[in-house]
C-alpha cells in the first residue's frame, strides 16, 4: 500500500498524490464529519474535496461508510475496483467507529501488502491509521511568569 498523508487537505505535494493515483479512482470517505447537521457546509466541503482531486486529474466519488455497515464484502468489491481511498479530517472517533462497523478497518489491513493500492487523507483520516487512539496524559510543571 502506498500512503499519501497530509496534515490539512491535499497539502503542497499534490503532484506526488497525482503520480501515486495514476489510473485509480478515489473513494472519498467523509464519515469523520457525521457529527454535523449543517447540510450546506457538508455539501460545500464535499464539493471542495472532489474538486481538489479533480484538479489533479483524479476521478472521485463519495463513499459513505454507513451504507456498508454489515456489508463488508460489497465494500471490498468497491474498494478493489477503485484502488484508492481519500479519507478526510473531522472527528477521529466517529470515523474509526464507521470504519469498524463497515469492515473498512479490516479491508485496509488486508491491503497493506498491495503495492497498487493508495490510501490518502489528512487529519482524522490519518489518525485512524494509528494502532491505538488511546490518549496519553502528560504532566508538566507549571511555568510562571512575573509581570512587572
Q: Mind listing the pLDDT tens digit for each residue in 45-93? A: 999 999 999 999 999 999 999 999 999 999 999 999 999 999 999 999 9
Give the domain range for residue 10.
Answer: 2-127
> What is the C-alpha to C-alpha distance for residues 34 and 32, in angstroms, rounded to an integer?
6
Please report, for the domain that includes residue 7, its CATH number: 3.40.50.880
- Name the grid cell of 39: 447540510
Residue 146 pLDDT class (50, 70, 90 cuts): low
Our count of domains for the chain comes to: 1
Q: Does 145 fall in a domain?
A: no
Q: Does 140 fall in a domain?
A: no
> What is the C-alpha to C-alpha distance for residues 20 and 29, in angstroms, rounded to an integer?
18
The pLDDT value recorded for residue 134 is 76
The answer on pLDDT for 4 being more than 90 is yes
pLDDT per residue as tens digits for the range 119-142: 999 999 999 998 888 765 555 655
Quick one: how far is CA 115 from the chain centroid? 19
Provide the whole-model pTM. 0.87
Amino acid at each position: 500500500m502506498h500512503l499519501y498523508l497530509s496534515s490539512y487537505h491535499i497539502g503542497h505535494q499534490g503532484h506526488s498524490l497525482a503520480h501515486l493515483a495514476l489510473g485509480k479512482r478515489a473513494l472519498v470517505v467523509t464519515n469523520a464529519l457525521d457529527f454535523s447537521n449543517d447540510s450546506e457546509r457538508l455539501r460545500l466541503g464535499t464539493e471542495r474535496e472532489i474538486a481538489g482531486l479533480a484538479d489533479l486529474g483524479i476521478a472521485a466519488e463519495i463513499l459513505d461508510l454507513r451504507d456498508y455497515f454489515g456489508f463488508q464484502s460489497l465494500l471490498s468489491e468497491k474498494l478493489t475496483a477503485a484502488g484508492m481511498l481519500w479519507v478526510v479530517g473531522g472527528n477521529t472517533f466517529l470515523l474509526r467507529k464507521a470504519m469498524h462497523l463497515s469492515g473498512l478497518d479490516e479491508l485496509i489491513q488486508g491491503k497493506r501488502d498491495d503495492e497498487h493500492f493508495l490510501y490518502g487523507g489528512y487529519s482524522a483520516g490519518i489518525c485512524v491509521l494509528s494502532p491505538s487512539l488511546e490518549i496519553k496524559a502528560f504532566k508538566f510543571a507549571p511555568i510562571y511568569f512575573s509581570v512587572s
